[in-house]
Structure 1
Amino acid sequence: MLPVAGGRPSRPSRGAPLLWRICAGAAPRLLAFAVAALLPPLHVFCLWLFWQNYSRQVDRSTCTCSCWDTVFKGTYESGIASYKHFYFNATENTFKIWLMVAGFLVILYECVRWLASLWLTARLRCSMALLFFSSLFSHYYSWWIYINYYNDEFYSQWNHQLIFTITELISTCVVLWLSSLEHSVTLLPAMLISMIGVYHVIASSRDQFVLNVLQGEGHAHQVVRDIGFMIPDLLHIIVPLFNLRRRSFYVMW
């Protein structure tokens, strides 16, 4: 990798060595795969850190899966089955969960691959990459919440969460667009990101942040969660405005 001013790699030329061109093509895919593959295990590990003292040991020799319909095992197992590391029921909600899992991982893979490609070709706007990666927690939380809604058949908070999810997706789409140096940070997209950030800060504060964090009434995992929401929202307010201030004039997009 050839360094250039600002710490970014240089754009590979047509005459670049073959090994460099291969690495430049494979690196974004490998990085994207690593993020998509390791994020769920990291999440479960964090849950284990918080809940290890409250979890229970499972006796695999005597434990049974009495809530499992055994459909995906076919004729190999039926009735009340023995212990399984992983099992699922053949239901409509399981189908919806699978679509969400596959869709999330594919989209995450493509987003990281896009950003890595921009970086390797010296076209990445680092401030927008910062916003994207800071928002991963919020997107992952929404994804996990919807999976649990379907899994538990609990829908009373669905519409409330949906508002956050839609606005987060809009903001992230604009952030990804502006991640390329080929796209200027103009007034309209910058203000859209910032205004969504303002909305999230106000809504989150009224929802749980003030109670759990500022008043100290939340459990440790609630405090970490709410701070994990608030910091990216504040960054989404500040960073686009900072990018606008660096421009000598504003051009409507």
Structure 2
Amino acid sequence: MEIMLKKVLCTMLATCGSNIFGFLAPLVIPPLHIAFIYYFWQDFARDVDKQYCSCSCWDTVFKGSYESGVASYKHMYFNATSNTLKIWVTIVLGVIVFYETVKHLAWLGFQKHLRWRMFILFMTAVFSHYYSWWVYINYWNDDFYSQWYHQFFFSATELISTILVVHLADDRNPITRRKAFGIVSIALLHILAGGWDQFVTNVVRGEGYAHQVVRDLGFMIPDVLHVIIPLCSLETKGAYSLPGAGLRDPDLKTDLILFRPMLMLYFIKVVSFTSIHESKTAITTVK
């Protein structure tokens, strides 16, 4: 009876604890983000005269008969448009997925099944996912789409990588070479594409602003860890389980074949970025 009671109490503690962690994660990060932005961009902030300011870009639909036309100060405005619906769906999905993921990882921790190396990888990837989530909200909010596919490449591949990481966070799931290879290959693509894109210019050459340097380091350091940690965590059963350990490895050829689509995505990404950069340069030259 005592053992059963302990099991029930432990289960209740794990359930409540995981729910609390899942609740706190999406609750805390956005305010931290705003505080972070304010730290870097406080010089661009201006005082708002709440008594005399107005907004003529608001359709005032959700206010109905209470307010119409040019509106007075509000802490939040939103128009009744299709983009507002997309933004709302993105916000809800992001919060739910983040809540459920953190709750799942916390549950694994309470049950002592959490693989801490994979948990570290997940924590380092939070910034990338939050950045993508925030960027898409701003794309729809600003009707700015020139970087949509450029960002989608990173968002989609990062999502695939994190799904593998969360799966491997359960120590009952073995870290096979194929799973580790998937995480590592995506990280390498991000390192190559990110280095080609912004990292070299902003960080290595020192041409970026402080917030750009912090942002690019926030992308690059997790990608490097996504290469190192899976390789160090790889579970092997013999010498021939290692990639390239011998020609008798029957799965190596299959893994390389599976890697081809990732290479194609990278080259498509590089070509598209180069063409966009050249077109921008041409436009600037004409101007």
Q: CA deviation at 1:76?
A: 1.4
Q: Which residue of 2 aligns with 1:6?
A: none
Q: Does the C-alpha gap of structure 1 residues 167 and 17 become closer, same or farther in structure 2, counting only changes over 3 Å?
A: closer
Q: Which residue of 1 aligns with 2:82?
A: 92
Look up the equivalent residue of 1:215 and give its one-letter code.
R
Give the SS at the match of 1:101.
Answer: helix
Q: Which residue of 2 aligns with 1:156?
A: 146
Q: Does the C-alpha gap of structure 1 residues 22 and 50 become closer, same or farther in structure 2, counting only changes over 3 Å?
A: same
Alignment partners' CA distance in 1, 2:209 and 2:82: 35
Q: Which residue of 2 aligns with 1:247?
A: 236
Aligned pairs (5 A) from 1:68-147: 68-147=58-137
Of 172, 187, 193, the match for 1:197: 187
Q: Residue deviations 1:172-217, cap 9 Å, x none?
A: 0011110101100000000010010000000000000011001100
Of 16, 19, 30, the match for 2:20: 30
Q: Which residue of 2 aligns with 1:231?
A: 221
Alignment partners' CA distance in 2, 1:16 and 1:53: 56
Q: Does the C-alpha gap of structure 1 residues 17 and 196 become closer, same or farther in structure 2, counting only changes over 3 Å?
A: closer
Look up the equivalent residue of 1:247 and give its one-letter code.
T
Alignment partners' CA distance in 1, 2:117 and 2:4: 29
Bigger relative contact order, structure 1 or 2 (CA pairs below 8 A, ≥6 apart): 1
Alignment partners' CA distance in 2, 1:143 and 1:57: 28
Give the SS at the match of 1:232.
Answer: helix
- The alignment status of 1:60 with 2:57, answered yes or no, reads no
Q: Residue deviations 1:123-169, cap 9 Å, x none?
A: 00000111111000000111111111101111111011111111001
Alignment partners' CA distance in 2, 1:80 and 1:181: 58
Q: CA deviation at 1:41?
A: 1.0
Alignment partners' CA distance in 1, 2:16 and 2:178: 35
Look up the equivalent residue of 1:232 and give its one-letter code.
P
Alignment partners' CA distance in 1, 2:176 and 2:8: 38
Alignment partners' CA distance in 2, 1:205 and 1:17: 51
Look up the equivalent residue of 1:115 and give its one-letter code.
L
Alignment partners' CA distance in 1, 2:4 and 2:158: 39
Aligned pairs (5 A) from 1:169-208: 169-208=159-198
- The alignment status of 1:46 with 2:36, answered yes or no, reads yes
Alignment partners' CA distance in 2, 1:34 and 1:239: 27
Which of the two has higher C-alpha Rg? 2
- The alignment status of 1:212 with 2:211, answered yes or no, reads no
Q: Which residue of 1 aligns with 2:247?
A: none
Task: Give me the identity figure in percent.
Answer: 49
Where in structure 1 are there 5+ consecutive unaligned residues?
1-12
Alignment partners' CA distance in 1, 2:166 and 2:12: 25
Q: Residue deviations 1:202-242, cap 9 Å, x none?
A: 00000000110011000000000000000000010000000
Give the SS at the match of 2:197.
Answer: helix
Structure 1: which 4+ aligned runs deviate by more than 2 Å? 17-23, 246-253
Residue-pair matches, total? 240
